[in-house]
Amino acid sequence: MKTPKGLQPLVDDGMIDEVLLPLKSGKEASVYVVRSGETRLCAKVYKDLAQRSFQARVQYQEGRQIRGSRQARAINRASKFGRRELENAWKNAEVDALYQLAAAGVSVPTPKAYVHGVLLMAMITDADGHAAPRLGEVDLEPALAVAYHMRLVRDVVRMLCLGLIHGDLSEYNVLITPDGPVIIDLPQVVSAAGNNAARAMLLRDVHNLRASLGRFAPELLTTHYGEEMWALFELGDLLPDSPLTGHFVFDEHHADVAAVMDSIEDARQVALIREQGREAAAQAE
């Protein structure tokens, strides 16, 4: 096939020898199967996104580290340079996450290189060497569904131990291989400690997995692994191999809103009195 514009620099540099076929195309990236020597790889070519897409991604980017104060100020002002830096940070987030997760034993595509805005990574295949199907495209026996669920939950735990949450995990970005499920698509990866919506996103990820695999193994539908792992994470007790049961006792106590408001008002009054005292002392001098 004709070499796409985004891949031509890699061909020119000798990093890939041939573009074999397009694999998928979405709003944020196009993925191609390429050949490098005798090896087939996936090449993910990121697209530049419109302003509307930047607004949609704000919730994911909260808590991410920006590499310099100048870049951070530009991003906060939403200048042209700032939007470009935000775009670069969005792309780099997936690359950085893949290297971290692969090193930690999470089942993700092995990254090979990131050059000219293109991510090269291992191709995930089925038993015949073709592109592996998504979780939502396969039928599973109940026992295998339970086994895959446990594999994926353990990968989510490993991610959380690194301070990361996928943020968009579902049956559409889990591939099924002869060796088990593989998690893909991580540009929206979330900071577990720095994002105010981290818990909600983690629970959404885990609940999506529960719903998808619960179609084949209904007993999974009553589990609460997300709540359990987050509770351990908040206490600082979550480890990659922490035993999980899927059981969780929910706090059903109602918040005493009136008492909280009274405490806030008391604190406000104390602060006001102290400020008045400082002003009186300054006038006396």
Burial class of residue 187 in the structure, from the number of CB atoms within 10 Å of its CB (0-12 exposed, 13-18 middle, 19+ buried): buried
Asked if 121 and 112 touch (Cβ cutoff 8 Å), the reply is yes
Catalytic entry in 12, 48, 139, 168 = 168
Instruction: Identify the three-state secondary structure at position 272.
Output: helix
Please indicate whether residue 185 is annotated as part of the active site. Answer: yes
Phi then psi dihedrals of residue 115, to 5 deg: -140, 145
Catalytic entry in 139, 185, 237, 256 = 185
Q: Which helix (H) or strand (E) holds 25?
A: strand 18-25
Asked if 164 and 192 touch (Cβ cutoff 8 Å), the reply is yes
Instruction: Identify the three-state secondary structure at position 165.
Output: strand
Give the Å distances, CA to CA, from 72 to 77, 94, 158, 197, 238: 9, 19, 29, 21, 32
> How many C-beta atoms surround the C-beta of residue 21 within 10 A?
9
Interhelix angle 198-214/142-161, rounded to 10 degrees, is: 170
Please indicate whether residue 96 is annotated as part of the active site. Answer: no
Where in the sequence numbering do the catalytic residues fall? 168, 185
